[in-house]
Amino acid sequence: MKIAKQIVTVVVLSVLATPLFAAEDDTKAFGQFQEFLQGVDQLSFEMIQDYLDQTDLTNRILSHQSVQPDVEEMFRGDFWNVIERGVLNVLPPQGSGVKGELIQFEFENGKGQACVRFRHPQHAYQFHRFELRQDRRGRLKIIDWFDSNKGLTFTAFMGEELLTAKPTKETTRKLLSINSPTDLQLFRATEIRKAIRDRQAPRFFEIYDEFDEQLKREPWIVKNAVNFAHGLKDMDRLAQAFTIFVDVFAEDPDMALLLSDFYLIVEDYEHAYASMQRFEQHFAVNEGALPAKLSALALATGKPEEAEKFAVKATTNEPSVELGWWSLLRARTAAKDYQGALEALTYLEDEFGHRLDAAKLRRDKFRAFTKLVDSQEFRDWRASRN
C-alpha cells in the first residue's frame, strides 16, 4: 500500500502547465465564450451575468423541485442575487489561483457546448460542461452546465438550494423518497435541512446520528453527510458516510469523478481507478488530465500496460499537459521499456525546461528511475545531450 500511495502521490503531484485549446466552429460564439471565461477567472459576476439567460435558468431551476410559493416568489424577485451566490458557490474561490482551461468548444446552427477544466491544488480536477445557444440578437447564452464536483447541473443544484431556504414538513415530505415517512422521520429530516441551510456541520451530525438507516440513505442527506465530514476533516465520519455514498451513487456516472476523489482520500486505489474510468468514458472529452491520472492509478494498482495506454492517450490528446509526459515516463520505466522512456525524457526537457540527469532522477520518489538511469539507453541519451 505504501508503494502504491507513493506512485499516486509522485505522479499526480507532478508539475504541469496546460494552455487553452479548442475547436472553433463559430468564431463569434467562441470569442464570446472566452469573454465569459474571463469573468469566471476574475469571479466577476457582472461579466458572467451577461451570458446567463434568466428565463431558461428560472424555468429549469423551478422544474427540478417543488419549491414553496413564497420561496419561488422570493427567488423570482431577487433572481440575480440568488444566482450570484449559487455561481460563486460552484466556482473556485477568490485567491485560489485556479483558472478555467477551455478544453472543448463546439457550436453550430445556434447551439453548442463547451467544456472547461479547473485544476485545483494537488491536481484534483473539476470539469464544467456548458450548454450553449444563441439568442435572437446573435448573443451567446448559457442555458445550464454540469459540474463534476456536484455531480449535478447548476440548475439542479440551485433547485436543491431553494428547498433548504424554508424547510417545512410539507416540503420535506416532497423531498423524501420514502413513501410514507413517519412523523419522527419528517421532523428529523426537516431539522437537518435547517442545519444544511445554515451550514452548521456539528448540528447536522447531532441530528444525523439519530437517523435510522432509511433516512441516512436519502440521496440529498448522503451527499451532505460526506461533504460536511470532509469539511470537518473527520475521517471516521467520512468513512462511515462514504460507505453509504458508494452504495447509493456507485452506478451514477455523473457522480463518478467525485466518487473517485473520495476513494483516493481513503486510499482505495482500485475503486478510484474504476470510478475515474467510468467518468472519463461518460464525460467523453479528448483531453489529457484524466488519462494522465488514470495512468498513475493503473501503475498504483499493478497494471503497467494500462498505465502506458492511458499515458499515450494523455500525451496524444493534449501534448501540453506535462503530467501526461511524466505518466508516460513512469509507465515505460516501470515496464523496463527504457528506449520508449527516452521519448518522454526528451519531451520533458525540450518542452518543459527540465534537466533530467541521473542525480535528479535518483532523488525522485519513483524508485524505478534508479534502474532507468543505470541502463545503457539512458546513458547514451544523456551523453548525446550534454
The residue from 112, 128, 153 where one domain ends is: 153
Contact 319, 17 (CB under 8 A): no
Fill in the amino acid letter for 23. A
- Sign, CA torsion 316/317/321/325: negative
Is there a domain that residue 261 lies in? no
Residue 383: give the domain boundaries.
Answer: 1-16+289-386
pLDDT computed for residue 165 by the predictor: 82
pTM (2 d.p.):
0.85
Same domain, 106 and 2: no
Contact 341, 372 (CB under 8 A): yes
The residue from 135, 153, 171 where one domain ends is: 153
Is there a domain that residue 343 lies in? yes
Is there a domain that residue 174 lies in? no
pLDDT computed for residue 70 by the predictor: 87
The three three-digit cell numbers of residue 235, written as one number = 475521517
DSSP line for 258-285: HHHHHHHHTT-HHHHHHHHHHHHHHH--
pLDDT computed for residue 13 by the predictor: 35
Domain of 82: which CATH number? 3.10.450.630
Is there a domain that residue 90 lies in? yes
Contact 340, 325 (CB under 8 A): no
The three three-digit cell numbers of residue 218, written as one number = 436519502
Closest CA to 245 of 212, 218, 270, 267: 218
pLDDT computed for residue 9 by the predictor: 40
Same domain, 99 and 1: no
Is there a domain that residue 274 lies in? no
Same domain, 12 and 56: no
pLDDT computed for residue 20 by the predictor: 38
Is there a domain that residue 38 lies in? yes
Is there a domain that residue 137 lies in? yes
The residue from 121, 153, 185 where one domain ends is: 153
Is there a domain that residue 381 lies in? yes
15 φ/ψ angles, rounded to the nearest 5 degrees: -70, 140
The three three-digit cell numbers of residue 143, written as one number = 442555458
Same domain, 42 and 88: yes
Instruction: Give me the tens of pLDDT residue by residue for the chain, a chain 386 residues long.
Output: 443 444 444 343 333 333 333 444 588 999 999 999 999 999 999 999 999 999 999 999 998 777 788 889 999 999 999 999 999 989 998 888 888 999 999 998 899 999 999 988 877 899 999 999 999 999 999 999 999 999 999 999 999 888 888 888 888 888 888 989 999 999 999 999 999 989 999 999 999 999 999 999 999 999 999 989 988 999 899 889 999 999 999 889 999 999 998 898 888 999 999 999 999 999 999 999 999 999 999 999 999 999 999 999 999 999 999 999 999 999 999 999 999 999 999 999 999 999 999 999 999 999 999 999 999 999 999 999 98
100-108 and 111-119 strand pairing:
antiparallel
Total domains, the chain: 2
Domain of 347: which CATH number? 1.25.40
